[in-house]
Amino acid sequence: MKCITLMQKPAMRNCLAILILITSFAEGAYGQYLDEKDFHQLTSKDGLSSDRVNGIVQDSIGYIWASTSAGLNRYDGKKIVQFHSEKDSLSLPSEDLGGMGWLNKSCFGVYTAGLHVVNTKTGKTRNIFIPYADKSYEYKFNVVMRAIGDEEGNIFIVSRSGFYHFDKNYQLVFRYDYIEKEKVALAHFFFNSNLLEIDARLLLVSSLASVYDKEKRQLIKIGSSVFPVLSEFVGEQSRYHCFFQFKPGHFIISRQYSDSIFYVIPSQNKCVPSKLPFNTAKEEFHFRSKILVESDTSFYVTGHLSGFYKLRLNPHNGSITIDPRKYLRSLLCQAMLIDKDGKLWIATDKGLLWQDPRKPIIKTGYLPQAIPDSFPNFHLCDVYASGPNVYVGNRGNSGLLLFDRNTLQFKKQFIFPGNNGRGNSIYAITAMDSNSLILGTDSPVLLFDEKKQSAKEIDPPQWGEGIWTSDLFRDSRNRIWLSAYFTYYYDTRERKFRYVKTHPSLLSVPSCVAEDRNGNIWMGGHGLARYNVKLDSFDFYLDSFPFIKMPDKQVHTMVIDAQNNIWFNSNNNGLVSYNIDNKKYNHFTKESGLPDNDIAALYVVGDMIWVASFSGLSCINSRTLHIEKFGTEVGLPDVPITKFSRFYYDNNSRELFFSYSNALVKFNPFQLLNSKKPPRVFIENITFNGNRSLFIPAGEIETSWRENDIRCSIGTIDFLTGSDQAFEFRIAKEINSPWQELGKQSTFSISNLPTGIHRLQVKVVSLSNHWPPQIREIRIKVLPPFWKTNWFIGLFILALSFLFYWFIRWRTNRATRKEVEKTNIEKIKAENYKSQFELEQISNFFSTSLADKKNEEEVLWAVTSNLIKRLCYEDCMIYLWNKDKTKMIQRAAYGPKGNPEFIQSQVFDVVPGQGVVGHVMQTMQPVLIPDTRKDPRYRVDEMFRLSEVCVPIIHNGELIGIIDSEHPEPHYFKERDLKILTTIATLLGNKLKQLESENSLEAKRRELSTINEKLVEARLSALQAQMNPHFVFNALNSIKRMILDKDNEKASRYLSKFALMIRMTLNHSKEIFVSLEETVEYLKTYLEMEQLRFDDSFTFSINTGQNIDVTETAIPSLMIQPLVENAIWHGLMPSQGDKKIRILFTQQENKITCSIEDNGIGIRASEKLKEGNTTLHRSVGLENIRNRIRMMNEKYNTECTLEIIDLWEINAGCSGTKVILQLNSINL
C-alpha cells in the first residue's frame, strides 16, 4: 500500500479547459446543465497510480475507491492511498484492474486476475480464484469481467471462461465453463455475458439465454414459459445489445445499428420501445458502457469509446428520451458515481473527474496579459458595477477597464487623453447619477458618461497640478465626499463641490472616508478624525491604536457597521474595531484567525465585515467576532492582493466584487458563507505495537498490556477543503485535558498506555474557521496481565482457600488421631490440673480468707465451714492436743457436729493408738481407708461410715493435730482427697504456728511498751531531778554572796522566796505537766528572786492571751524556767543599760506558743563570750530542755519545737535574743 498526499496545486484544480461542448439542447428538459468547467481532475500527478481509471465506488465511510490499470486507489479529499499487487497473498492478484462493483453493503469486488474482495468496514481483503485442474491454464479462467453478490454472502462471477457461483464461505458451488475441456489449451476465451438481477432469486445470464436459480443452483433456459420478453435480446442476439440495469427486474436495452432503445420488465413480460434522436453506431453503446442512476427517472450512460449521455425515463408509459448532447466527448468515460453529497464523479482514461459545487458561486475574470505587460507597475484598484458592466480602476495609467457583469470577460479599455496620462490612473469610482460616474484619478476628477463612453474634467475649486484623489464616498444625504490634498463634498442637488478643511493631524491626504450611525463623517490618514456635520467642523481625533510590536497611526481603509463600530487597518498591526459609543477597542491579528496582519481593503455586508489581506480574503461576524478565511480552496484565484485592491457590493444582485492585482472576482457572499459544511471525521486506523491493526474502529476496543504502544490515523472525508484542516488529539482524563497539536499531520503515536480504560479523542479544525471543531472519541481498554485480572485473583484466592481447607482438614485429621492417642494422658493431666487448681484454691483460701483470723478457733472453724464445705465432704473433724498434750480433742467440725456448741457439749477425745486417729497420732503418717468395715482400727463416732481418710497436722516435725473425714459410701476417697487434705493439714499447721508466734510476739510487744513508758518517765524524772540541783546550786551561791556582803535583809527576803521556790519546785517535779497558771506563778517567783540577786538591774513582764484558759491549759513542768534563767544570765547580765525581759503566752487554734524575749547582747555574742571566758555561768538547762522535748514528742506526741533567734540578725539596729517554745494544746 502506498500513500500519497494530494498537493493543492493550481494546475490540478483548474477547470478542464480542453473540454468544450459542441451541441446545445433545451436545458430544462434534462435537468441541470453539466459544465466541464465545474469539474476538477485527479491524475497520476496528484497521486493516482494511473490516469486510466475504469471503476469507481464510494463506501459507507465516504472514501472514493478507484480501480486503474496500475492498482487500486482510495481518496479522502486530501491524500490518495494506493494498493498494489505484492507478496502478501491478500493483496491484489494483479496490477491491471478491469473495474469494480458492489457485492453487498460492505464489500466490493475488483475485477482482475481473479476477484479481489475488499471489506470496507474492516479493511480486510481476500482473493477469489476460479479453480481449474490444470494450474497452468487456470489464469484463462480468472479474467473476471463482472461480479455481483447478495447480503447472504453469495458471489456470482462472469469471467472470460463462463459463469460461477461461490457461497458465503467462498466455496465454488456452481460452475459453467463456456469452453470445452479439450479446447482449453488452444482456445481464445471470449465469453462476455451480462449479469443482471431479475429478482432476489433469479439472475439473467444474457449470453447463455438463461436465468440462474440461486436456490436450486441451476441454469434455466429462457423461452416461451420463462421470461419470453427477453428472447429477442439474449443468446446469440446478446452481442448486438447493450444491457443496463438501474434496479432489480428493470432493464434498459439498446440495439446496435438502430435508433431503438427498450425499457424491459421481465416479470411483467413488458417491453416498451423508444426512438433515439440519432442512429447509434456499434461503438456508441457496447460492453464498456455503464449506467448511473441520478434519480428514479434520470440516468447517465457512458459511451463505449468516449463521453456520456443523459437519459430520462417516463415512469407512466415507459418511454425513454435521451439528450443528444454528448458530454466529455474527448474522454473515455468508463464509470460514473454520484457521491453522498450529490457530486458527480467520472472515471476516465485521463484521470478521475469530480464536480465542484462551489464553482458556480465564484466567477473570475482575467485581464488580457497584454495590458499588464504594457503598463509597468500595474494594479487593479476600485470597482463599480453598473447595469451589465463592471468598471475597474487601476494604478498604472492603463485607463478605465470594462468587464462583462455576467461572465466577467474583459470587454474594453478607455484611455483618456491629456494630463500626461495621469488621468488614466484611476484610484476611486462612484456614481454621480444613473448615467455617469465620477472617476478619481492621479490628477483630474473626471465625469464619465456611460452611454457616450466619454469623460470630461470636473475639477473642484482650488484643484491644481499634483493633486490626486484618494477616495470617493457617497453618504446617506447623497453627498459625494472626495478626499484629496483638499477635502470636498459634492452636493448632488446643487451640483457643485464644497470645500472642507482637512484636520491638521491627518497630515496630507485623507486615505479613506466613512459615515457613522449619527451621520458624522470619519476620515482616516494618520489617525482617525470625526467631522461633525451639524457643527460643520472636526470634533474628535483618535490616534492611539492597539499594536503588535510597534505603534502605527497610518490608516488607509475603513468601514463603519450598523453597531457604530469603526473597522480600520492599523499599518502592519492587523485589524482594529473601535466602538464610537462605548469607546472600546477590539484587536484582530493573524493569531486571531486573519490570513495576515496587513489589511488592504474592508467592506460591510450586513453583519459581516469582509477583509482583504495580502494573503487572502476573510470575513468577520461583527456580532460574534467569528473569523472565516477564504483562498484558492474555495475557487478564488491564486493571484496577488495589493494594498490598492478594493471591494464593491451590489445590494440588488447580492454580488460582492473584488479586484486582485490583475483579476476580478464576484460571488454571492451569503452563498459562499453557507456553502461549507464540516467533513466526515473518524478514527481511520489504530495499530498496536506495529503488528495488529484495526480499520475504522468504533466504540470500545481492547488490547493487552503487551500491546500498549499505539499508532493512530485520523480520517476525514472532505473533497472541497481537505487542505484546510489541522489535527489534534488527547487522552481525555478530565474536561480540561490539554490537546496535543499535530498541525496537518493526521497520524500520531502514544507509547506505553497504562492498564485501564482510556478516552482517546481526536479533533479536526478548519484552519480557515469554516466549520466548528469536529471531535471523535474511542475508548481503549488496556487489559492487565492475567495475574492482575479479577478472575485470576479470584481463582488464586479460591485455590488458596482450597489448599488452606485441605491443609486444615489434614491437620484436623492428624490432630484427631493424636488426640485419640493423648486422651488418656490428657485425662491424667486433667486430674493433675484439677488437683493443682484445688490446691491453688486451698492456698489462696489460706492466704486471703484466713488473713484476718486472730485465734485458733476462728481459723479452725473457717477451715471446716468454708474450705471443707467446698470439697463437698459430708463429714470432717479437726483434732488438736489438749493443754498437757496427752490426748487430742475435737476442736472444729463440718457435718453433723458442725457448730461450736455441739463440740463443747459432746466432748470426744482420742489418745495415741486409739482408732484410726490414734494410729495417725502415733505414726504421723496419713491413712486412706476405702472400706472401714475391713479395717479394725476404725472407731465409731456418732454414726458408722464406710470410708475414711485421716492426715496429721505437722509443723517442723511437730505433731499439732489431726484432720479426719468420713463418708457413708465405700471407696469414696481417692488419692486426690488424700493429697488435698494433706495440703490443708500442712497449711493449717503453718497457720496455727503463725498464730502462736504472733500471739507470743504481741505479748512481748506489750511488755516492752510498758517497760519503755516506765523508762521514759524515769528519764523525765531524772532530768527534772537534774534541773532542781542546778537551781538550788545557783540560789545558794546567791545567798552566800549576800551574806558575805553583809546584806542580811536582802538575804532574808531572798531566802524566804527561795524557800517558796523550793516548795513549788518539789511540787512541780512530781508532775509531767502543770497548769499555765502554776507555771506563771512559778516564773514570777523565780524572776523576783533574780531581781533581788541582781539588785533590780532588770525588769520583766509576763502576759497571757485572752483566749487561753490558764487553769486548764497544761505546760510541761520546769520547762520555761531554764529558758528565762538563760535569758538573764547570758543575755541581760553581760549587757549595759536598761535591761528587760518579756514573757508572752499565746494560743492559735490547737497550738500554745511561749515567747521569751530579752534585750541583752544576743545569743551569738554570748557564745563568743563563752569561748573566751570559761568561768561564766554554764547553761545546763538548755540541753536538758532539748532532751525533754524529744522524749515528750515520742511519748505524748506534743509536736513541741524550740527556736532561738538572735534579734540582731533580723534587724541590725536591735540586740537581744528571742526564744519561741511551741507545742500542741494539752488540757488537764
**pLDDT tens profile 219-253:** 999 998 999 999 989 988 888 888 898 899 999 99
**Which residues make Cβ contacts (< 8 Å) with residue 870, sequence separation at least 6?**
841
**pLDDT tens profile 736-771:** 889 999 999 999 999 999 999 999 999 999 888 888
Indicate if 849-973 has the same CATH topology as 680-784.
no
> How far is Cα 557 from Cα 689, in angstroms, rounded to an integer?
57
Cα–Cα separations (whole angstroms), residue 432 to 386, 436, 446, 1121 = 12, 6, 11, 152
Asked whether the beta carbons of 915 and 908 are under 8 A apart, the reply is no
**Using 50, 70 and 90 to split pLDDT, how confident is the model at 635?**
confident
pLDDT at 14: 37
Asked whether the beta carbons of 358 and 718 are under 8 A apart, the reply is no
Write the class of the CATH domain 849-973. Answer: alpha beta
The mean pLDDT value for 900-916 works out to 84
**Which residues make Cβ contacts (< 8 Å) with residue 797, sequence separation at least 6?**
none
> How far is Cα 475 from Cα 712, in angstroms, rounded to an integer?
58
**Using 50, 70 and 90 to split pLDDT, how confident is the model at 27?**
very low
Take residue 446 and report the three cell numbers written for it. Answer: 473626471
Cα–Cα separations (whole angstroms), residue 1098 to 314, 395, 1065, 1079, 1135 = 168, 147, 24, 21, 11
Does residue 599 register a pLDDT over 50? yes
Q: Helix, strand, or coil here: 780?
A: strand
**pLDDT tens profile 704-729:** 988 999 999 999 998 887 778 999 99
Asked whether the beta carbons of 735 and 94 are under 8 A apart, the reply is no
Take residue 243 and report the three cell numbers written for it. Answer: 444491457
The mean pLDDT value for 833-859 works out to 68
Average pLDDT, the chain: 86
The mean pLDDT value for 614-620 works out to 94
| CATH superfamily of domain region 680-784 | Immunoglobulins (2.60.40.10)
Does residue 360 register a pLDDT over 90? no
pTM of the model: 0.60
> How far is Cα 1101 from Cα 1129, in angstroms, rounded to an integer?
17
Q: Which CATH number fits domain 1059-1227: 3.30.565.10, 3.30.1280.10, 3.40.50.150, 2.40.30.20?
A: 3.30.565.10
Does residue 657 register a pLDDT over 50? yes
**Using 50, 70 and 90 to split pLDDT, how confident is the model at 1012?**
low
The continuous run of DSSP H or E covering 920 comes out as: helix 915-923
| DSSP output for 709-752 | -EEEEEEEE-SSSGGGEEEEEEE-SSTTPPPEEEET--EEEE--
**Using 50, 70 and 90 to split pLDDT, how confident is the model at 1030?**
low
Does residue 342 register a pLDDT over 50? yes
**Using 50, 70 and 90 to split pLDDT, how confident is the model at 940?**
confident
Take residue 548 and report the three cell numbers written for it. Answer: 503588535
- Beta-bridge partners for 436: 449
Strands 53-58 and 39-42: unpaired
pLDDT at 840: 66
Q: How many helices (H) and strands (E) does the chain have?
A: 16, 80
Domain limits, the chain: 363-458+631-673, 680-784, 849-973, 1059-1227
